[in-house]
Structure 1
Amino acid sequence: MNQKEVTIAKPVMLDKNFFSGHSVDCVILGFEQGEIKVLLLKWKAFEKWSLPGGFIGNDEDLDKAAIRILQERTGISLPFLEQFHSFGDVNRKGKESFLSEIKSLIGHDSNLINWISQRFISTGYLSLVNIKKCNLVPDELSERCEWVSLNNVSNLIYDHNEMIKMALQKIKMQLNYLPIGITLLDSKFTMKELQLLYQSILGKEIDRGNFQKKMLKLDILIRLEKQNLGGAHKAPYLYKFDKLKYKKLLKKGFGYIN
Structure 2
Amino acid sequence: MDTTALDASYFDEQLYVKHVAVDNVIFGYHDRELKVLLQRPNYQQKWTVAGGYVRKTESVEEAAHNIAFLRTGLKDLFLEQFRSFGNPSRTKEDWLAIKKSFENAGVQPPPDSWILDYSVSIAFYTLTEFSLVSVQKGPFDEALEWWPVAQLPPMMFDHALIIEEALKALRRDIYHYPIGYELLPRKFTLPEIHSLYETILGKTLDNRNFTRKLMSSGIIKKLDEIRSIGAHRSPYLYKFEKKKYDAALKNGIFLGF
- Calculate the TM-score normalised by the size of structure 1: 0.86
Contact kept? 2:40, 2:46, Cα under 8 Å: yes
Does structure 2 conserve the Cα–Cα contact (< 8 Å) formed by 1:43 and 1:144? yes
2:97 is aligned to 101
Is the 2:40–2:48 Cα contact (8 Å) retained in structure 1? yes
Residues 161-218 of structure 1 show CA distances to partners (whole Å, capped at 9, x for unaligned) of: 1111111211222223222211110011111110111111111111112111111211
Structure 1 residues 95-244: aligned runs within 5 Å = 95-105=91-101, 106=103, 111-112=110-111, 114-227=113-226, 229=228, 232-244=231-243
Q: For residue 65 of structure 1, give the secondary structure of its aligned residue in structure 2.
A: helix
C-alpha distance in 2 between matches for 1:192 and 1:62: 37
Gaps (5+ residues) in structure 2?
none
Distance 1:189 1:156 in 2: 34
Cα distance, 1:44–1:76 mapped onto 2, change above 3 Å: farther
Give 1:238's aligned amino acid. L
Match of 1:12 among 3, 10, 13: 10
For each residue in 1:57-107, what CA deviation from the matched residue of structure 2 results, as whole angstroms up to 9, or x when unmatched? Answer: 233322222222333355443366332211112221xx2331221234438
3-state SS, counterpart of residue 70 of structure 2: helix
Residues of 1 paired with 2:251 and 2:130: CA distance? 28
CA distance in 1, matches of 2:78, 2:212: 32
The residue type paired with residue 47 of structure 2 is W
Residues 74, 138 of structure 1: 8 Å contact kept: no
Taking a change above 3 Å as real, the CA distance of residues 249 and 228 of structure 1, as seen in their structure-2 partners, is: closer
Q: CA deviation at 1:147?
A: 1.6
AA partner of residue 204 (structure 1): K
CA contact (8 A) 1:226 1:235 kept: no
Change (3 A) 1:178 1:65: closer
Q: How does 1:6-85 map to 2 (within 5 A)?
A: 10=8, 12-78=10-76, 81-85=79-83
**Shift in alpha-carbon separation, 1:235–1:146, aligned structure 2, 3 A:** same
Q: Which amino acid in structure 1 is aligned with residue 33 of structure 2?
A: E
C-alpha distance after superposition, 1:121-180 (max 9, x if no partner): 011122111111111111001122222111121231111111111112112222232222
**1:212-239 deviation line (CA, Å, top 9, x unaligned):** 1111211222212354859531312211
SS at match of 1:27: strand
Matched residue SS, 2:87:
coil
**Distance in structure 2 (CA, Å) of the matches to 1:228 and 1:111:** 59
1:143 aligned partner, one-letter code = E
Percentage of pairs with the same residue:
32
Query: Tell me, what secondary structure is at the counterpart of 1:31?
Result: strand
- Do 2:11 and 2:115's aligned partners in 1 also have CA atoms closer than 8 Å? no
CA distance in 2, matches of 1:11, 1:90: 25
| Counterpart-to-counterpart distance in 2, 1:61 and 1:134 | 24
Distance 2:64 2:182 in 1: 19
- Whole-Å separation in 2 of the counterparts to 1:64 and 1:228: 39
- How many positions carry a matched residue from both structures? 250
The one-letter code of the counterpart of 2:20 is H
In the TM superposition, what is the alpha-carbon distance from 1:109 to its structure 2 partner?
Answer: 5.2
Q: Deviations over 1:36-55 (max 9, x none)?
A: 11111122222121111111
Moved more, 39-48 or 217-226: 217-226
